[in-house]
């Protein structure tokens, strides 16, 4: 049982490049989400999904796309990377039943630098 | 003003000391989470609570719903407890998490 797996762990991009951050979980969790963590700020929600085929925007969605074709995978796409997207990105999952009263499981994070 | 406020932002203590980290929130919540993040590492869920108190080893979390306040206590602190501790609230209604900015704890041997 690997939990939540994020790849890559580190990435450097040039402004304007695109890339996909991968996230997979093996706990059959319906709810998956992407956060970014910036110095001096709490984690902020980018996009989330309550099940396959369903996605919605979070607090800071601009510049990012997501899709959820399977329960296990929830990739985050940067369409045209900008220096403001330099951050540490975390994917998380939890069971939907019980609502927010379910523990969140986080991946190890992806440290992304945009030059 | 952030909906979830933590204090202190930084805390340095000697090994063995009793540690308290505080979290206040201004939103209606269905649950309060305490998370731990080691330097360069991932985020681990320590506690999730909606009332009363929970204990796991040397860690204790309490919540006072009326005062909208939660505390994380560490007894007999150890250098391996050095980490960032994050408080997060599950918003009642939309079930999304609002995070505090974290408390950086350093335990000196």
Which single residue is written with the structure tokens 């396959």? A52
pLDDT digits (tens, 9 = 90+) for A63-99: 999 999 999 999 999 999 999 999 999 999 988 776 5
Q: Which two tokens stand for residue B58?
A: 């040397």
Token output for B38: 């080691």
pLDDT digits (tens, 9 = 90+) for B2-53: 689 999 999 999 999 999 999 999 878 888 999 999 987 789 999 999 899 9
The C-alpha atoms of residue B4 and residue B32 are separated, in whole angstroms, by 10
Interfacial B residues in 49-108 facing A (CB < 8 Å) = 50, 86, 88, 90-92, 95-102
Judge whether A44 is closer than 8 Å to chain B, CB to CB: yes
User: Which among A90, A108, A105, A91 has a CA at the least distance from the CA of A38?
Assistant: A90
- C-beta separation of A36 from A6 below 8 A: no
Minimal Cα–Cα distance from B22 to chain A, Å? 15
CA angle (A103 as vertex; B43, A37 as ends), nearest 5: 35
């Amino acid at each position: 049982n690997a939990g939540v797996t994020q790849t890559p762990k580190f990435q450097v991009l040039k402004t304007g490049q695109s890339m996909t951050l991968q996230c997979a979980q093996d706990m059959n969790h319906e709810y998956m989400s992407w956060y970014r963590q910036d110095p001096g700020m709490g984690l902020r929600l980018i996009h989330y999904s309550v099940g396959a085929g369903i996605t919605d925007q979070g607090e800071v969605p601009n510049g990012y796309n997501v899709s959820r074709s399977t329960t296990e995978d929830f990739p985050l796409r940067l369409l045209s990377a900008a220096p403001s997207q330099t951050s540490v990105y975390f994917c998380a999952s939890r069971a939907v039943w019980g609502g927010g009263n379910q523990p969140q499981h986080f991946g190890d994070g992806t440290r992304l630098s945009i030059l | 003003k952030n909906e979830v406020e933590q204090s202190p932002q930084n805390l340095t203590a000697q090994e063995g000391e009793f540690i308290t980290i505080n979290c206040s929130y201004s939103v209606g919540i269905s649950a309060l989470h305490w998370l731990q993040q080691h330097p360069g590492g991932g985020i681990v869920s320590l506690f999730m609570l909606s009332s009363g108190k929970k204990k796991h080893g040397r860690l204790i979390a309490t919540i006072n719903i009326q005062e909208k306040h939660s505390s994380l206590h560490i007894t007999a602190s150890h250098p391996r407890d050095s980490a960032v501790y994050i408080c997060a609230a599950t918003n009642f209604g939309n079930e999304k998490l609002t995070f505090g900015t974290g408390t950086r704890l350093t335990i000196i041997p």
